[in-house]
Chain A
Amino acid sequence: MKILVPLKRVSDPDNANKIKISGGKVETTGLEWKPNPFDEYAVETALRLTENGANPKARLGEVLVVSFGPKEVETTLRAALATGADRAIRVDATDDQLDGDLVARALKALVEKEKPDLVLLGKQQVEGDSNQVGQLLAEYLGWPQATFAGSIKSENDTALEVHREVDGGSMVLKVTLPAVVTVDLRIVAPQSVSSKHSPAHKYADGVRFAALMAIMAAKKKPLVEVKLAELASDTALKIKVTGYEAPPARKAGVKVKTVAELVQKLKTEARVI
């Protein structure tokens, strides 16, 4: 199976509370960059679908990673190559030249060229939480989608059974490939992904780390640059951000000493019970 995984770098989500806003803009200087966590899960999922878990060195398919961003996102791409992806493409653009719709339209052109069987994306990138690129791409391609996947079972690599994490439970779908799947957190649990190569392997929880040797070897894996204009003729944005503001601060309340005091305050002060 050939799988395309789009990945975005984001400012370190563990530092999200260091975000500063000045003059209506978000200050990103001084923030560390990390791959979007959900995209790391998508790469892990793609690797699991294209290997035998007992012998992961033998790649049994192709995993192609792509990122839209400036030169520095090559670090993110190389990291994915080091964990096992085969090839990388960087589409040259800065964040303010992009919105979800443009990324999706450019990805469509890339899909038509590369012809993957599956596009695996994160369900959302954690800066904008836009949650749309996968669905837009599916519609532009005329492909089925399975969003918020918590587990994937590949049936002979022609169809996938996907458990989607939806409000109030789990929705099970069967999609015929080629298709678009976006992944949720639980996809990297030990037995969330299975395929014909590896029907019952139990993985360690979470994403894999690259060994030093693999990091060295990844420097030699192919990484090409493509211009945005080669993939999209119309680069007009559909969403315009006119500014940012800090949210109103919620002020800390009081500490109560006893359970009885808490109940009394909830009853007579907050009047919520």
Chain B
Amino acid sequence: MAQILVVAELSEGHARKSTLSAITFAKQAGLPFSILVLGASTSAAAQELAAFGAQKVLVAEDASLEHPLAERYAPTVAAAAAGFDVIAVTASSYGKDLAPRVAAKLGAGYAPDISGVTNSGGKLAYKRPTYAGNAYAHVEVTTPKQVVSVRQSEFLAAEASGGASPIEKVAVAPVDAAASRVQFVRLEAAKSERPDLGEARVIVSGGRALKEKFAEVLDPLAGLLGAAVGASRAACDAGYAPPELQVGQTGRVVAPALYFAIGISGAIQHLAGMKGSKTIVAINKDPEAPIFQVADYGLVQDLFTAVPELVTELKK
């Protein structure tokens, strides 16, 4: 039977939650799967991931894998993919950087941003969003091996099912010439006590309307709710919020339990990144703003009075 290899995404030695969505994809595809963990220090992540019902947890550990550079990771992933038919990575900046290089090495077709999978008699078919979320395409990969990236927002994180998958070491493949021509300089990680956009249960997002008061207005609300902070592209472009907060078609795609869109008009490209959220609240002073067409609860008010009032009300 066909088998899936899930490539884990790590952060500081632990599996990111996006990996658990990729595991759910494998389970929904109805095929046995193994998990590949790569990095300079993998034991914690391998232990964590051994509890999800994988056939095996494969580990490629080497100092040269400290930073996730596609030129260094792709040869090892491609080598580990022998014996697997589908290679599933996360549809994050990490996965999207890596997956095509793996596909090229394997001569495989690559279907990005998968939001659904069906298995009919062992043949997998995928669903993926196109045209800023206005059309879902049904696609098939025509090559014997297939590479996909899995949208975290569309597959619930898998729950640990207990048990202990055997952990096995796999060889770190020799790197090719490209790797010697790229050098990791540094990671400028955003300094924030807030949860990551992909992992938060609540997201408080702000738009252009917040101007220089972006943080001043949103931080108390986000802090109170333990929420991640997001932003529209216009807010990022204007410098009110840092670029990594951008939610949308060309930013992060999120689906929290609760999403606040504050001073955001609801352009189609923004909706593409958040309309999978369970409950959406919109605060906007324009009653005609398109965001109200997707909001479960709409409040037509000036945000500069409504948000502080909301904070006070929630504290009661």
Quick check: is A30 within 8 A (CB to CB) of the other chain? no
Q: Interface residues, chain B, CB within 8 Å of chain A? A: 67, 69-71, 74, 92-94, 96-101, 103-105, 108-113, 125, 129-143, 176-179, 181-190, 196-198, 202, 225, 233, 236-237, 243-244, 249-250, 252, 257-258, 268-269, 275, 278-281, 287, 292-301, 306, 309-310, 313-314
- Tell me which residues across on chain B come within 8 A of A19, comparing CB atoms: 131, 134-135
* A window 218-252: CB within 8 A of B: 236-247, 250, 252
Closest A residue to B198 using CB positions: A167
- Report whether A146 and B188 are in contact in the complex, using a CB–CB cutoff of 8 Å: no
> What does DSSP make chain B's interface, helix, strand, loop or mixed?
mixed
Say if the beta carbon of A139 comes within 8 Å of chain B: yes
Q: A185 vs B231: C-alpha distance in the bound complex, in angstroms?
A: 15
- Given A100-B110, A263-B314, A272-B278: A244 and B138 within 8 A (CB)? yes
**Per-residue 0/1 for A159-171: is the Cβ within 8 Å of any B Cβ (1 yes, 0 no)?**
0010111111111
Q: Are B131 and A26 closer than 8 Å at their CB atoms? A: yes
Tell me which residues across on chain A come within 8 A of B184, comparing CB atoms: 171-173
Q: How many residues of A sit at the interface, in one of the four size bands?
A: 35 or more
**B314 CB contacts on chain A under 8 angstroms:** 263, 273
Given A165-B243, A170-B188, A259-B309; A143-B178 close (CB under 8 Å): yes
- Cβ-based interface call for A67 (8 A): no
Instruction: Please name all residues of chain B whose beta carbon is closer than 8 Å to the beta carbon of A260 when the two chains form the complex.
Output: 313
Q: Complex: how many Å from CA A118 to CA B313? A: 56
Least CB separation from A260: chain B residue: B313
Interface pair B293/A252, CB less than 8 Å apart: yes
**Residue pair A139, B100 in contact (C-beta under 8 Å):** yes
Chain A residues positioned under 8 Å from B109 (CB to CB):
99, 101, 238-239
Residue of B nearest to A175 (CB): B182
Q: How far is the CA of A150 from the CA of B244 in the complex (A)?
A: 11
Determine the chain A residues whose CB is within 8 A of the CB of B301 once the complex forms: 259
Determine if B178 and A138 form an interchain contact, defined as CB atoms under 8 angstroms apart. yes
Q: Of residues A148, A179, A239, A260, which shows the largest number of chain B Cβ atoms within 10 Å of its Cβ?
A: A239
Nearest opposing residue in chain B for A165, CB measure = B243
Q: Which residues of B contact A38 (CB under 8 A)?
A: 250
* Chain A-chain B contacts (Cβ-Cβ < 8 Å), number: 266
Question: Residue B225 contacts which of A179, A236, A273 (CB distance < 8 angstroms)?
Answer: A273
Whether A168 pairs with B136 at a CB distance below 8 angstroms is no
- A46-54, A122-130, A195-203: which lies at the interface: A122-130
Q: For residue B308, which residue of chain A has the nearest CB?
A: A259
Residues of B within 8 A of A148 (CB): 93, 97
B141, B185, B236, B258: the one contacting A238 at CB < 8 Å is B141
In the complex, how many angstroms separate the beta carbon of B245 from the nearest chain A beta carbon?
A: 10
A176's partner among B181, B243, B293, B310 (CB-CB below 8 A) is B181
Which among A139, A179, A262 is the interface contact of B310 at CB below 8 angstroms?
A262
Q: Does A83 belong to the interface (CB within 8 Å)?
A: no
Q: A138-B101, A173-B182, A252-B293 are contacts. A259–B310 as well, Cβ < 8 Å?
A: yes
The 7 A-B pairs with the shortest beta carbon distances in the complex, nearest first, are: A238-B109, A135-B100, A253-B296, A139-B104, A144-B182, A172-B185, A16-B132
Q: A130-B112, A243-B138, A255-B299 are in contact. List 20 more A-B contacts (CB 8 A).
A: A127-B131, A132-B103, A135-B96, A144-B71, A144-B178, A144-B179, A150-B243, A167-B244, A169-B190, A171-B188, A176-B181, A238-B143, A250-B294, A252-B293, A254-B297, A258-B299, A259-B313, A260-B313, A272-B258, A273-B225
Q: A262-B310, A265-B297 are in contact. Are A127 and B269 (CB under 8 A)?
A: no
Contact of A136 among B100, B198, B298 (CB under 8 A): B100
> What residues of B have a CB within 8 angstroms of the CB of A123 in the complex?
250
Q: Which of B99, B281, B295 touches A252 (beta carbons < 8 Å)?
A: B295
Could you say which residues of chain A place their CB within 8 Å of the CB of B94?
166-167
- Once bound together, how far apart are the Cα atoms of A240 and B275, in whole Å? 27
Min CB–CB distance A159 → chain B (angstroms): 9
Q: Which residues of A contact B132 (CB under 8 A)?
A: 13, 16-17, 126
Q: Which residues of B contact A179 (CB under 8 A)?
A: 181-182
CA distance A250 to B277 in the complex (A): 10
On whether the beta carbons of A16 and B187 are closer than 8 Å, the reply is no
Min CB–CB distance A68 → chain B (angstroms) = 17
Chain A residues in 8 Å Cβ range of B300: 255
Question: Whose C-beta in chain B lies nearest to the C-beta of A128?
Answer: B130
For B181, give its contact among A126, A143, A166, A253 (CB under 8 Å): A143
Q: Mark A84-103, 1 if CB is under 8 A from B, else 0.
A: 00000000000000011100
Report yes or no: A131 in contact with B96, Cβ–Cβ below 8 A.
yes
Task: Tell whether A272 pairs with B279 under 8 Å between CB atoms, given A17-B134, A126-B250, A239-B142.
Answer: yes
Chain B CB within 8 A of A142 CB: yes
A145 at the interface (CB under 8 A from B): yes
Whether the pair B125, A242 counts as a contact (CB closer than 8 A) is yes
